[in-house]
Chains A and B, each alone.
Chain A
Amino acid sequence: MIEAEAREEVFKAEGLTKVYRTGDVEVHALRGVDLTLYAGELSVFLGPSGSGKSTLLNILGGLDGASAGRVEFHGQKLTDFDERSLTLYRREHVGFVFQFYNLISSLTARENVSLVTEIAKDPMPPEYALELVGLKERMNHFPAQLSGGEQQRVAIARAIAKRPEVLLCDEPTGALDSKIGIIVLEALTSVNEELGTTTAIITHNVAIREIAHRVFYFADGRIASSNVNATRVAPHEVTW
């Protein structure tokens, strides 16, 4: 648990709204969300499909804009950034982990990580990032030669190699079985603890909430409720 006095706000969202329009159809993905995430915190976003979790994550990650409301990142209004500024923001501050890994198939594990370290200001060596996720011996293999779990760990290494302030994970275990999923979660939690990266994980899997500092429950485009976990559970103790 992060002590209240040490809380540095990383994200602050107020009245965040997102409406998607396709012809005459309007989809209200977010309906006025208020949220604050703190430095070093690991949060889990839970909720059914279409509840707005991914939309919020996308806005926090600078992939999408809001229809109304505001989001601040260390006091800077993200919702006012132009396209180029958002790209720089993602480049310098955000690490992403996707459900389907999104590795570059023509690059080895190490090269996939180097892809990001080449454009980062203060990256860690790709080999070290891979070592952190337990893949040092597999760094010269291509994604096609790696298992799903290994690929996801490469993706995590790629995400953290730039030493991002923020790690956003959209269903990181969604394509994996429980055994491999736990390995991935261990990688995420260890990164969060060792590097102090503010981490947000979207998942359908309710069991995963136990590893988080805070849990947010989404429903119908809003944060229906949130919990602070008094005690956190290590990933290997989680079962699903």
Chain B
Amino acid sequence: MGALDRKLLRDLLGMWTQAIAISLVVAAGVATLILAVGAYRSLDETRAAYYERHRFAHVFATATRAPRGLMERILELPGVSSAEGRITKNALLDIKGFEKPATGLVISLPAKGVPVLNRLYVRAGRLPQPDETTAVAVNEDFAGAHGFHVGSRFQALLGGRKRTLTIVGIALSPEFIYSVGPGDFVPDDSRFGILWMGKKAVEASYDLENAFNSVSLLLRRDASEDEVIRRLDLLLERYGGRGAYGRDDQFSHAFLDGELTQLSAMARVLPPIFMVVTAFLINMILTRLIALEREQIGLLKALGYWPLTIALHYVKLVMVIAVIGVAIGFGLGTWLGDLLTRLYGTFFHFPFLVFQRSIDVYVISAAVALASAAVGAARAVWSAMKLPPAVAMQPPAPTVYRRLWAGGAILLRHVSQLTIMVFRHLVRWPWRAVTTTIGISLSVAVLITSLFAVGSINFMLDFTFFQSDRQDASITFANESPLRVVQDVERLPGVMVVEPFRSVSTKMRWAHNERRVSIVGRPAGTDLRSLSNVPVQAEQRRGGTDLSQLINAKMEPVTLPETGLVITEKLAQLLGVRRGDLVEVEFLESSRRTVGVPVTEIFQSFFGLAAFMNINALNDLLDEGRVVSGVHIAIDERFEPVLYDLIKNTPALTAIALQKVSLVKFRETMAQNITFMTGVYSVLGIIIAFGVAYNSARIQLSERARELASLRVLGFTRGEVARILNIELAVVTLAAIPIGWVLGAGFAWTMIQSFESELYRVPFIIERATYAQSALIVIGAVVLSALIVRRRVNRLDLIEVLKTRE
């Protein structure tokens, strides 16, 4: 080993704490890239494998009732490689020991018993035989939520009759990787389950012998999805077809896509920040190191070493630090990626997980990290190369300070000399102060970018459950029912307020644009409110007494006009319509009419595609009289058990959503996910803050050791001397925090733009707590680094300093 290499190792050992701090920043950058890309690819690969192995369909459609013979014509459609018809219906469930009514989606299995498309992964037991009438396979998470196993029983209202079903199998389906019950906003596996049953039992229950009401298609590679959808719609039109749609609009697939988009955004935004900080830290530390070693550099040159050799020596130093960081980052990123993938596995119902570890991610992250380190080192190394030997071996010219302004002398009298020292140092080396400030502000920014989502999600939940949809439950009827049913519901025990709604599937067209969207009819005012005298549960409702109201993104209520459509901004954007435009509305159910309806209002909403009308106006368009699809209700808690019991035994009802209950469950599930991500990102933010603050303080200590030791000799205590470093750190940190807030808000906004999908738009909300949290975490990291440096201050060699020249 050459002498220079030995020097390198000893230098590294001498600055090992600083080197580790920088390595950790490198590791954090590498780890976030591997984590995000790794988790993304794992999920993507898992999904692709799942879809492929279980023949997840490309196109889906529902109808009221289509004859089985139609399947042959569907199979003949150009581009269709496989098709399967089935019956799908909602049913209310009554589970022993579970007070609340649950909803099940009943899906018929084919005559052969095993689906051709959307094949099931059977985790336990078997699938029901075609002629078994009470056997059922349920989805795994529903079974898990109730502790079901093969042989367990529960009751279900199938086609108006209550039956006891026996579980013969527990399965998963690619259609329901993410499943949310009808009328619900968030998943709750205890109250929504998928039930696969034999063909005969389902046909008989719903009077759909030799018929189907749902079809799935698998397309050939070269097929045009749009063309297949168009032709399928034509075929199903006379059978009450409600508009076919592709995978992109399939709820589970769309939701998972959104999640993958977020991961991808994370991979784009966070790692570059770490790499920038790495470059900055390397630059800071190497510049100072070379300045301290200038005499040695001069000596080496005088002895005949090539400048390039000397430069390479310092580059090697930097590369060793970076390589250590890359190694740590590989391990950390891989482990965290696996952990995150597993965490996603609890959220999304996959039967297996594929852990994707592509070599290219590792290579790219290592290359970027090393390049960042090299960029950081470039300037300092260049200056070392250029330094003439004679100049290098002389002590540098003394630093010239200036008094800021003569008038300041009056002010300065009231300030201690130690404080004056701090501020003169800051003013004399402004670039150092600025770069340290930027470094620390980036750590604040990373924390804001990572933590803001909690606030946004809380806001969306609050918005949904406490502002716009404030009902305790939403009940869907088996069929459209006359308005008078509202009064029947009002009379149920515990029902305090009832609000009807009508939901109709439509295709909306404007010029060349078309979207499939449901129009929801709501009462314009409170004319259908409950006449009950029981006071509303005030803590659950704010403002007006309407249960379900339209609120725009500015939290203002949107009044439903007497006629005309009120649509979300996203829908308006996709159709290309403006207020006053007349859109063509093709009703895909009921009367199946096509009418022109004016757009009377466009409002900003967090939920992508939605359209609303006055319920009476909607009914008038459909020309079916006063009819409702379901009701929203407010419930008196005291009567819940009685009410639930009644609901479970009411044949006219097919689904019930208990929004508040779902919210509690959702928050629990979210909490786990959020805790993990918050923990990981907080650590990353701390690593940056600590890396920057610690290195800055250590370098200051090295440069000013003589000065600080002199102060100790003069009688200043350790604390007073440490204060000089601490005040400077404090000034820089306090300046960095608001800058970091702004930067973090900018990064967060950038990430939010990539989250937007047709399903939802994440609001850009950064809670005050997030700002406070980020500031506190960074301050904590800076304080920690100050305390560690303080130990070195305490160990300053006072005697050595007396003998050394400046």
B398 touches A144 (CB 8 A): yes
B802 touches A115 (CB 8 A): no
Q: How far is the CB of B427 from chain A (nearest CB, A)?
A: 9
A98 on the B face (CB < 8 A): yes
* Interfacial chain A residues near B2, Cβ < 8 Å: none
A205 on the B face (CB < 8 A): no
B residues 53-80 touching A (CB-CB < 8 Å): none
B713 on the A face (CB < 8 A): yes
Q: How far is the CB of A109 from chain B (nearest CB, A)?
A: 12
B residues 755-806 touching A (CB-CB < 8 Å): 798-799, 801-806
Interface-side segment among A88-96, A193-201, A206-214 = A88-96
* Interfacial chain A residues near B712, Cβ < 8 Å: 87
B399 on the A face (CB < 8 A): yes
With A and B bound together, what is the CA distance between A150 and B370 in angstroms?
50
A115 touches B714 (CB 8 A): yes
A143 touches B398 (CB 8 A): yes
Interface-side segment among A99-107, A184-192, A218-226 = A99-107
With A and B bound together, what is the CA distance between A123 and B802 in angstroms?
24
| Number of A interface residues in the complex (CB < 8 A) | 37
B706 touches A107 (CB 8 A): no
A106 touches B428 (CB 8 A): yes
A-facing mask of B707-731, CB < 8 A → 1, else 0? Answer: 1001111111110100000000000
B806 touches A105 (CB 8 A): yes
B401 touches A142 (CB 8 A): yes
A90 touches B713 (CB 8 A): yes
Q: How far is the CB of A204 from chain B (nearest CB, A)?
A: 13
Partner of B799, one of A58, A100, A104, A112: A58
| Number of B interface residues in the complex (CB < 8 A) | 34
A102 touches B400 (CB 8 A): no
A118 on the B face (CB < 8 A): yes
B residues 343-401 touching A (CB-CB < 8 Å): 398-401
Interface SS majority for chain B: helix
B417 on the A face (CB < 8 A): yes
* Interfacial chain A residues near B806, Cβ < 8 Å: 100, 105
B713 touches A105 (CB 8 A): no
B713 touches A115 (CB 8 A): no
A116 touches B400 (CB 8 A): no
B638 on the A face (CB < 8 A): no
B49 on the A face (CB < 8 A): no
A119 touches B805 (CB 8 A): no
A114 on the B face (CB < 8 A): yes
B706 touches A102 (CB 8 A): yes
With A and B bound together, what is the CA distance between A86 and B339 in angstroms?
55
B420 on the A face (CB < 8 A): yes
Partner of B400, one of A98, A144, A170: A144
A residues 63-116 touching B (CB-CB < 8 Å): 63-64, 83-84, 87-88, 90-92, 94, 96, 98-100, 102, 104-108, 111-112, 114-116
A116 touches B804 (CB 8 A): no
A140 on the B face (CB < 8 A): yes
Partner of B710, one of A102, A106, A114, A170: A102
With A and B bound together, what is the CA distance between A176 and B801 in angstroms?
19
A92 touches B398 (CB 8 A): no
Question: A105 with B401: in contact, given A63-B799, A100-B805, A114-B417 (CB under 8 Å)?
Answer: yes
* Interfacial chain B residues near A115, Cβ < 8 Å: 417-418, 711, 714
Question: A106 with B424: in contact, given A111-B417, A114-B417, A115-B417 (CB under 8 Å)?
Answer: yes
With A and B bound together, what is the CA distance between A196 and B187 in angstroms?
88
Partner of A94, one of B402, B707, B715: B715
With A and B bound together, what is the CA distance between A54 and B800 in angstroms?
11
B534 on the A face (CB < 8 A): no
Question: A170 with B707: in contact, given A118-B416, A144-B401 (CB under 8 Å)?
Answer: no
* Interfacial chain B residues near A96, Cβ < 8 Å: 713-714, 802
With A and B bound together, what is the CA distance between A99 and B720 in angstroms?
25
B-facing mask of A116-127, CB < 8 A → 1, else 0? Answer: 101100000000
Question: A63 with B399: in contact, given A102-B801, A106-B425 (CB under 8 Å)?
Answer: no
B residues 213-261 touching A (CB-CB < 8 Å): none
A63 touches B713 (CB 8 A): yes
B799 touches A87 (CB 8 A): no
B residues 674-713 touching A (CB-CB < 8 Å): 706-707, 710-713
Q: How far is the CB of B136 from chain A (nearest CB, A)?
A: 79
Q: How far is the CB of A60 from chain B (nearest CB, A)?
A: 13
Q: How far is the CB of A3 from chain B (nearest CB, A)?
A: 32
B642 on the A face (CB < 8 A): no
B717 touches A84 (CB 8 A): yes
Q: How far is the CB of A159 from chain B (nearest CB, A)?
A: 9
A104 touches B802 (CB 8 A): no
Q: How far is the CB of B415 from chain A (nearest CB, A)?
A: 10
B421 on the A face (CB < 8 A): yes
Question: Nearest chain-A residue to B417 (Cβ)?
Answer: A115
Question: Nearest chain-B residue to A93 (Cβ)?
Answer: B715
With A and B bound together, what is the CA distance between A175 and B402 in angstroms?
26
Q: How far is the CB of B429 from chain A (nearest CB, A)?
A: 10
Q: How far is the CB of A196 from chain B (nearest CB, A)?
A: 20
Question: Nearest chain-A residue to B721 (Cβ)?
Answer: A87
B403 on the A face (CB < 8 A): yes
A105 touches B799 (CB 8 A): no
* Interfacial chain B residues near A116, Cβ < 8 Å: 714-715
* Interfacial chain A residues near B398, Cβ < 8 Å: 105, 143-144
A100 touches B804 (CB 8 A): yes
With A and B bound together, what is the CA distance between A115 and B424 in angstroms?
15
Q: How far is the CB of A78 from chain B (nearest CB, A)?
A: 15
Question: Nearest chain-B residue to A58 (Cβ)?
Answer: B799
A119 touches B799 (CB 8 A): no
B716 touches A119 (CB 8 A): yes
Question: Nearest chain-A residue to B710 (Cβ)?
Answer: A102
Partner of A90, one of B416, B424, B714: B714
With A and B bound together, what is the CA distance between A83 and B618 in angstroms?
87
With A and B bound together, what is the CA distance between A156 and B403 in angstroms?
23
B799 touches A91 (CB 8 A): no
Question: Nearest chain-B residue to A105 (Cβ)?
Answer: B399
B713 touches A107 (CB 8 A): no
B805 touches A106 (CB 8 A): no
B421 touches A104 (CB 8 A): yes
* Interfacial chain B residues near A118, Cβ < 8 Å: 416-417
With A and B bound together, what is the CA distance between A119 and B424 in angstroms?
20
> Interface centre among B402, B713, B718, B803, by most A CB within 10 Å?
B713
Question: Nearest chain-A residue to B803 (Cβ)?
Answer: A99
12 additional contacts (CB under 8 A) given A83-B718, A108-B403: A63-B798, A63-B802, A64-B798, A99-B803, A100-B805, A104-B710, A105-B707, A106-B399, A106-B401, A111-B420, A115-B714, A118-B417
List 20 interface pairs A-B (beta carbons < 8 Å), by A numbering. Answer: A54-B803, A58-B802, A63-B798, A90-B715, A91-B716, A96-B714, A98-B710, A99-B802, A99-B803, A100-B806, A102-B706, A102-B802, A104-B710, A105-B398, A111-B420, A115-B711, A116-B715, A142-B402, A143-B398, A144-B400
The 9 closest A-B pairs by CB, nearest first: A91-B715, A144-B398, A102-B710, A106-B424, A115-B417, A90-B715, A106-B401, A100-B805, A98-B802
